[in-house]
Structure 1
């Protein structure tokens, strides 16, 4: 079989894509720490995306309430600082943590992010008239 220059270029460009697809399928059966770390990072990224989507929805509902929106921004900034500090603490001193450090920190960030997402989703689903809810019902 003979490949044209275009076919060869396409094949060369497709190899990394196929390798990435195979790696993402390997997360359930990861065989090495590098793959486990990569998968943990991807899992956190997915959780963070869901959190950011919920946050944007809340921002949208607060578009006419600058004071409450400012409180939301402050709370979220403080929460991010807490998340990062807590997960760095859980990971231990980086120079002593070894190859598992990225996995531990990403796993922690995912868990803390999932908890925060539940809080934000709760705000998005408050009942009309709930005085303890800072986000107006839709």
Structure 2
């Protein structure tokens, strides 16, 4: 085999090897929609874990629990209204709409988790506006 043919063979072999071992990033829209929905559902489960932790941690604060449950119900209504205002004309945003809606819901849910975590983590000493939030130990 001549050097020229050998190098052509080697280059072809390397190109094929790189193509073979490099993961493909092309996905169908359906797969991306499903992934986004799955990510949202994971965030929703995470939110429910935080919610249950707060209910358990503050179980002896009956008025707080009543108000907290009400606030969470209202937040769900707000979340749904936010989604409806961002995508008011369902069915007109194309095949990416389910993905975009799921991404938006996940974002809103992750923001809510951060907000609620203050009741789990507490607030540092010196904050005079603790309200129902416990002080960090």
The normalised TM-score by structure 2 is 0.72
Divergent runs of 4+, >3 A: 127-131, 135-138
Q: 2:31 aligns with which of 35, 51, 56?
A: 35
Aligned-pair RMSD on alpha carbons? 2.2
TM-fit CA distance, 1:89:
2.1
Instruction: Say whether 1:117 aligns with 2:113.
Output: yes
Note the alpha carbon deviations across 1:21-55, whole angstroms, 9 max, x for none: xxxxx9x9351110110000000011111111011
Distance in 1, matches of 2:120 and 2:131, equals 9
User: Corresponding residue for 1:67?
Assistant: 63
Name the residue aligned to 1:20: none
- Inter-partner Cα distance in structure 2 for 1:40 and 1:88: 18
SS at match of 1:40: helix
- Following superposition, the deviation at residue 85 of structure 1 comes to 1.3
Q: Which runs of 5+ in 2 are unaligned?
A: 1-22
Task: State the TM-score, normalizing by the size of structure 1.
Answer: 0.71
Q: Does the aligned pair in 2 maintain the 1:61–1:136 contact within 8 Å?
A: no
Of Structure 1 and Structure 2, the greater helix share is in 1
Residue of 82, 93, 102 corresponding to 1:86: 82
Deviation (angstroms), 1:121: 1.1
Secondary structure at the residue paired with 2:91? helix
Query: Quick one: which of 117, 126, 132 aligns to 2:130?
Result: 132
